[in-house]
C-alpha cells in the first residue's frame, strides 16, 4: 500500500537532517513508497524544501518558541514542508495545512498536531509581515547558510547575487548529442518535429537545452543512445582532452559515466579507456550509460576499474596514459541548484579537506601520465580553494607540469585555469585547468 506523500517527504528530510544522507541516496526508495501519481509531488516537496531550507529554517525559528527534541526531527521536517507548500506552491493553503498536520498522527505523535496546526495557520495568516521581518536576515533573503554566503561574497563579490539567484533556480535540462550517431542539427530537427522547444547551447557544440524538462523516454532516439542528459559545462571536458585515435585514456572518478561516454562519442578510435571509480556500485551506472549509447564498436575498448585512485598499486599496471581526466571530488558548490541538499549538508571546513584530497589525487595521477601527455583537472566547485589554489600549489612542486592556457569564449580566466559560474537557464558552475607533461 502506498504511503502518504507528505509523510514520506518528512521522513526523507529527517534522514538528511539527522543522518547526513543525500537526496540522491534517499529519493529512489522514497519514490517507491508513494503512488506513481504522487512521485512528482514528492520530488517537488523534497527538492523544493531543501532549496529554500535556510529561509524556511529562519521562519521556523521565528514561529516555534521551544526547540523540538532531537528525536522529533520528523516533526521539524513537517514544519519546513508546510512552510514550503504555503510559500512556494499552488497547493491550496487549507489542503497543505491539513494534510501536513495529519502526518503527525501517522507518525504516532499526536502531541504535535495542535502545535503544527497553530504555527502553520499563523504562517499563512501573517505571511506578508513575516516575510518583511525576514528581509533583515541574509540567510532568509539568499536562502543560503551563513558560511556559504560569506564564502561566495568573499570570492565573487561582483557576482554573489547572481550566484545566489542561480542556485535557487530550477536547473535547465540539457542534452548532449551523440555525434557518433547523429549531428546536433539533425537532432534539433527531430525535436522540432515532436514539438519540443529547445535551443543550441552557446559553448558546447553538441549541447541542446530544452525549454521544459522532458521524460527521456519521450525524446527522439534517446533509448538508442542518440542523446544523453548532461549539463553544458560538463560537456566541455572532452574537447579539452584533445583526443586522438590510438590514445590510452584514464577517466578518474568516472561515475556516473557521462564524460566517459562523451570521450567515446568524440573519438571512437581510442585504443583504451579506463573508467576508474572508488565505488563498484557506481560503476554499474557507467556500464549502463555505455550500453545505452549503443556503441557496439566499444567492445573490449573500455575497462571499468573499482579502486581508490590514490592507491596506484591496486589498479595501475605501469602502462602510462596519453590523456587523463580528473573530475575531482569537490564541494559541488557549482551545482547546488541540482543538489539543493548541499545547503543542509556541506560544512565550511570540508572545503579545505577536499582541497587536500584534490591535491593528493592530482599528484598521484600525474605519475600515470606519459611525458607529452595531457591531464584535464575539473571540479564543479566555484571556490578558488579547490581550483586555482590546488593547481598553483601543484605547479610549484611539479617541474614537468605546465599549464596549457585556454583560448576559449567561455568562463573567466583565473591565475590558473578558467572558472564558469552557474548561470540561470544556462550552464552549471565548473572549473577547468589543462596541464601538459613535459
Residue written as grid cell 573499482: 306
Q: Which residues pair with 303 in a beta bridge?
A: 274
Cα–Cα distance, 166 to 143 (Å, whole number): 11
> What is the DSSP secondary-structure string of 288-305?
HHHHHTT-GGGTTTEEEE
Task: Output the CA torsion sign for 421, 423, 427, 428.
Answer: positive
261 catalytic residue (yes or no):
no
Which of 271, 395, 386 is closest to 321 using CA atoms? 271
Q: How far apart are CA 271 and CA 284, in angstroms?
A: 22
- Tell me the backbone φ, ψ of residue 243, rounded to 5 degrees: -75, 140
Catalytic choice (50, 330, 380, 433)? 380
d(CA 301, CA 214): 32
Which residue reads 493553503 in cell numbers?
93
- Distance between CA atoms of residues 360 and 354, nearest Å: 10
User: Does residue 256 have a cis peptide bond before it, meaning omega lies within 30 degrees of 0?
Assistant: yes
What DSSP element (H or E) covers 207? strand 207-210
Q: Any idea which residues carry the catalytic annotation? A: 380
Amino acid at each position: 500500500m502506498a504511503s502518504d506523500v507528505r509523510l514520506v517527504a518528512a521522513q526523507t528530510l529527517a534522514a538528511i537532517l539527522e543522518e547526513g544522507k543525500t537526496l540522491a541516496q534517499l529519493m529512489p526508495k522514497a519514490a517507491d513508497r508513494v503512488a506513481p501519481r504522487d512521485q512528482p509531488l514528492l520530488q517537488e516537496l523534497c527538492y523544493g524544501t531543501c532549496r529554500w531550507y535556510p529561509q524556511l529554517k529562519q521562519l521556523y525559528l521565528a514561529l516555534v518558541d521551544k526547540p523540538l527534541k532531537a528525536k522529533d526531527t520528523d516533526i521539524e521536517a513537517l514544519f519546513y514542508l508546510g512552510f514550503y507548500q504555503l510559500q512556494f506552491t499552488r497547493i491550496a493553503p487549507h489542503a497543505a495545512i491539513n494534510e501536513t498536520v495529519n502526518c503527525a498522527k501517522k507518525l504516532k505523535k499526536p502531541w504535535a498536531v495542535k502545535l503544527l496546526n497553530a504555527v502553520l495557520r499563523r504562517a499563512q495568516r501573517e505571511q506578508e509581515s513575516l516575510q518583511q521581518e525576514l528581509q533583515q536576515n541574509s540567510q532568509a533573503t539568499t536562502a543560503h547558510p551563513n558560511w556559504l554566503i560569506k564564502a561566495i561574497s568573499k570570492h565573487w563579490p561582483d557576482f554573489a547575487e547572481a550566484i545566489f539567484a542561480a542556485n535557487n533556480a530550477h536547473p535547465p535540462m540539457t542534452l548532449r548529442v551523440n555525434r557518433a550517431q547523429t549531428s546536433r542539427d539533425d537532432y534539433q530537427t527531430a525535436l522540432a518535429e515532436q514539438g519540443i522547444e529547445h535551443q543550441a547551447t552557446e559553448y558546447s557544440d553538441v549541447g541542446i537545452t530544452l525549454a521544459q524538462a522532458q521524460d527521456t523516454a519521450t525524446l527522439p532516439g534517446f533509448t538508442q543512445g542518440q542523446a544523453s542528459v548532461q549539463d553544458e559545462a560538463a560537456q566541455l571536458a572532452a574537447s579539452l582532452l584533445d583526443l586522438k585515435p590510438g590514445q590510452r585514456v584514464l577517466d578518474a572518478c568516472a561515475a556516473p559515466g557521462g564524460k566517459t561516454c562523451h570521450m567515446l562519442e568524440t573519438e571512437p578510435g581510442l585504443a583504451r579507456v579506463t573508467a576508474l571509480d572508488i565505488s563498484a556500485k557506481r560503476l554499474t551506472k557507467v556500464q549502463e550509460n555505455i550500453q545505452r549509447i549503443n556503441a557496439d564498436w566499444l567492445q573490449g575498448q573500455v575497462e571499468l576499474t573499482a579502486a581508490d585512485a590514490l592507491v596506484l598499486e591496486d589498479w595501475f599496471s605501469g602502462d602510462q596514459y596519453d590523456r587523463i581526466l580528473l573530475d575531482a571530488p569537490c564541494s559541488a558548490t557549482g551545482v547546488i541548484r541540482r543538489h539543493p541538499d548541499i545547503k543542509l549538508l556541506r560544512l565550511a571546513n570540508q572545503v579545505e579537506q577536499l582541497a587536500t584530497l584534490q591535491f593528493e589525487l592530482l599528484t598521484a595521477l600525474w605519475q600515470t601520465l606519459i611525458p607529452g601527455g595531457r591531464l584535464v583537472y575539473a571540479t564543479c566547485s566555484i571556490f578558488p580553494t579547490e581550483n586555482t589554489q590546488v593547481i598553483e600549489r601543484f605547479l610549484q612542486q611539479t617541474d614537468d607540469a605546465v599549464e596549457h592556457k585556454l583560448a576559449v569564449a567561455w568562463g573567466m580566466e583565473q591565475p590558473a585555469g578558467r572558472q564558469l559560474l552557474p548561470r540561470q537557464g544556462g550552464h552549471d558552475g565548473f572549473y577547468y585547468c589543462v596541464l601538459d607533461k613535459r
